[in-house]
């Protein structure tokens, strides 16, 4: 009995050891990009970093014209766009470009009105079931916190957006799937969302796939942590305070010990 038990344990250990490399192979590293804000998922890599406002506006444009067809951003309101550098008139015009369902009115009926800055970003589908039904049975994820929800943060977003390519020889892509070298498992339901010149940036920046990917990643990083700049500023103030405090304590120490001689 004990011999049989030892054999089963040994077989189990061998199986685990054989499976370990396959699990490790799924761990993916993404090319590191330079971010003016330092990167949401990189801690204190750049405590002086600030968001590039032009990149934020271009990224919002990519989301608005491309990503918003399938992906919601339920945690953002149009008035939050003031942090991107838009003025009140521009934000009002952006919000008014959407028809919002509201109500009920005095007759108990829902009605449609133009959007206002206080409204949350309009979702592409009325509910999650409708989103799933329109996308092969799985609802596209909300992008409000996607940078924090994915390992690699902004770098993952860029790698994913630029990672679509023909599948290598011997790799079978199931019907309805697309090969993406950055996506775990390499098969993703989303077709390539970006194309060169797919948007026309207001500031004249050339809209390559890579440029669009970096800009929308910057916008999504801001959406995931809109207080990042304030946190950086607070960190700088704390560092200055600690340096001054250390100087005061050192001077006090010298003064106290000077009387001992």
70 is in an annotated binding site: yes
71 is in an annotated binding site: yes
Residue 202 has pLDDT above 60, yes or no: yes
CATH architecture of 28-76+120-226: Orthogonal Bundle (1.10)
Report the pLDDT value the prediction gives residue 7, as an integer from 0 to 100.
47
Residue 261 has pLDDT above 60, yes or no: no
Instruction: Tell me the three state secondary structure of residue 77.
Output: strand
Q: In whole angstroms, give the CA distance from residue 151 to residue 157.
A: 10
Pairing of the two strands 111-114 and 178-179:
unpaired
* Residue bearing the bigger pLDDT, 215 or 227: 215
190 is in an annotated binding site: yes
Three-point CA angle 81, 84, 88, nearest 5°: 50
| Mean pLDDT score of the chain | 84
Phi, psi dihedral angles at 112 (to 5 degrees): -110, 135
Instruction: With cut-offs at 50, 70 and 90, classify the pLDDT of residue 5.
Output: very low
Q: pTM of the full predicted structure?
A: 0.77
Tell me what the mean pLDDT of segment 45-55 comes to. 78
Tell me what the mean pLDDT of segment 8-20 comes to. 38
Instruction: With cut-offs at 50, 70 and 90, classify the pLDDT of residue 136.
Output: confident
Tell me what the mean pLDDT of segment 68-95 comes to. 97
């Amino acid at each position: 009995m004990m011999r049989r038990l030892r054999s089963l344990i040994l077989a189990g250990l061998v199986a685990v050891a054989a499976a370990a490399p396959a699990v490790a192979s799924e761990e993916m590293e993404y090319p590191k990009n330079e971010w003016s804000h330092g990167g949401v998922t990189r801690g204190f890599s750049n405590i002086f970093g600030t968001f590039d406002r032009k990149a934020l506006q271009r990224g919002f444009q990519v989301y608005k014209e491309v990503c918003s067809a399938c992906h919601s951003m339920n945690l953002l309101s149009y008035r939050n766009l003031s942090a991107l550098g838009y003025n009140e008139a521009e934000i009002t015009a952006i919000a008014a470009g959407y028809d919002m369902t509201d109500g009920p009115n005095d007759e108990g009926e829902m009605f449609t009105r133009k959007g206002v800055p206080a409204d949350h970003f309009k979702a592409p589908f009325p509910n999650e079931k409708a989103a799933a039904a329109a996308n092969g049975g799985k609802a596209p994820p909300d992008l409000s916190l996607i940078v924090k929800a994915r390992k690699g943060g902004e770098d993952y977003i860029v790698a994913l957006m630029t990672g679509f390519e023909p599948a290598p020889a011997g790799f079978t892509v199931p019907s309805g799937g697309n090969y993406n070298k950055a996506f775990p498992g390499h098969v993703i339901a989303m077709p390539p969302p970006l194309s060169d010149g797919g948007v026309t940036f207001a500031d004249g920046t050339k809209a390559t796939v890579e440029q669009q990917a970096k800009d929308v990643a910057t916008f999504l990083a801001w959406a995931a942590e809109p207080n990042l700049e304030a946190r950086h500023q607070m960190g700088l103030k704390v560092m200055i305070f600690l340096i001054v405090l250390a100087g005061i304590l050192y001077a006090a120490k010298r003064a106290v010990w000077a009387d001992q001689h």
